[in-house]
Amino acid sequence: MQYLSQRLASKPAGTGEGDPPAGTVAAQQRERLLDAAEGLIGERGCAGPSIEAIVKAARVSSVTFYEHFADKEACFVAAFDRAVVETGAVLHDAARGEGEWSARVRAALRALLETVAAQPARARLCLVDAQTGGPALCARYETALDAAAVRLRRGRLLDSAPRGLPETVEEAAVGGIAWLLRQRVEAGRTDGIGELLPKLAEIALSPYMEAEGPRELRAKARPGTSNAEPLGARHAPVAEAGVEDA
């Protein structure tokens, strides 16, 4: 422990001539640790990976781990936060080219499904193990759902939205979407998850579309295409933002 304390208090390496800047080295090490944690959680769940396994997969020392994170849960929380930020950016980019609010929501949901299909380990961290990985991680998960519900409340401003909607409509919609995604991710059935798009769009939009029934919503979710059309891979899932400009 004395050796570890001395190393933690020492000046970071990487300041010699020809070395990358110390800040760059530290950032790269941190990213490798987050990548390793995310991948191991995808294989074993939050209860499985040890710090020893994480540092081995990241190819860094235990000392380096503790330079970045106080403990294993702090590492998992940081991995979750990174996933939320990166996925939020993907959803925002997908939605901003659309016109109507409902079209932006559908575009964001499609991007979310593509992200889940492309990165199942990250999806497992965010949708499955975030709920069982410790109090801090669970709190982050709840915060992400709350933020998504707040964004969805903008549907109440639509002319088609009925008045007097219950206060819990958005929380129920976001929770239902998260539950459906979790079932597929937990079962390892992320291939073809795009088939959920019409159902997710119905859950998200139907409370605000008084003039449009569920059948019309399903038809509009993927105009001119098959509901089972496979999703293409995209960049980086649960996203905090959803549709930023919705």
14 has a pLDDT exceeding 70: no
- Give the Cα separation of 66 and 29 in Å (integer): 11
Q: What is the pLDDT of residues 96-127, one digit of tens each?
A: 877 889 999 999 999 999 999 999 999 999 99
* Helix residue ranges, H only, 97-243: 101-118, 120-127, 135-152, 169-186, 197-205, 214-221
- Give the Cα separation of 162 and 53 in Å (integer): 53
Give the mean model confidence (pLDDT) for residues 200-218: 71
- Tell me, what's the pLDDT at 170? 96
How would residue 244 be classed by pLDDT, with cut points 50, 70 and 90? very low
Six-digit token pair at 86? Answer: 């990166």
CATH class for domain 77-221? mainly alpha
Give the mean model confidence (pLDDT) for residues 15-22: 42
How would residue 231 be classed by pLDDT, with cut points 50, 70 and 90? very low
- Give the Cα separation of 34 and 13 in Å (integer): 20
- Tell me, what's the pLDDT at 212? 44
- Give the Cα separation of 221 and 20 in Å (integer): 48
Q: What is the pLDDT of residues 56-96, one digit of tens each?
A: 999 999 999 999 999 999 999 999 999 999 999 999 999 98
- Tell me, what's the pLDDT at 210? 65
How would residue 239 be classed by pLDDT, with cut points 50, 70 and 90? very low
| 119 contacts: CB under 8 Å, gap ≥ 6 | 236, 237
Per the prediction, the chain carries an average pLDDT of 81
Give the mean model confidence (pLDDT) for residues 23-51: 90
- Give the Cα separation of 12 and 8 in Å (integer): 9
Q: Tell me where in the chain the CATH 1.10.357.10 domain(s) lie.
A: 77-221
Do 43 and 125 meet the contact criterion of CB atoms below 8 Å apart? no
CA 87 to chain centre: 6
39 has a pLDDT exceeding 60: yes
- Tell me, what's the pLDDT at 129? 93
Q: What is the pLDDT of residues 120-174, one digit of tens each?
A: 999 999 999 999 888 999 999 999 999 999 999 999 998 889 988 999 999 999 9
Q: Tell me where in the chain the CATH 1.10.10 domain(s) lie.
A: 2-69
Give the mean model confidence (pLDDT) for residues 4-26: 50
- The dotted CATH code for 2-69 is 1.10.10
- Give the Cα separation of 117 and 123 in Å (integer): 8
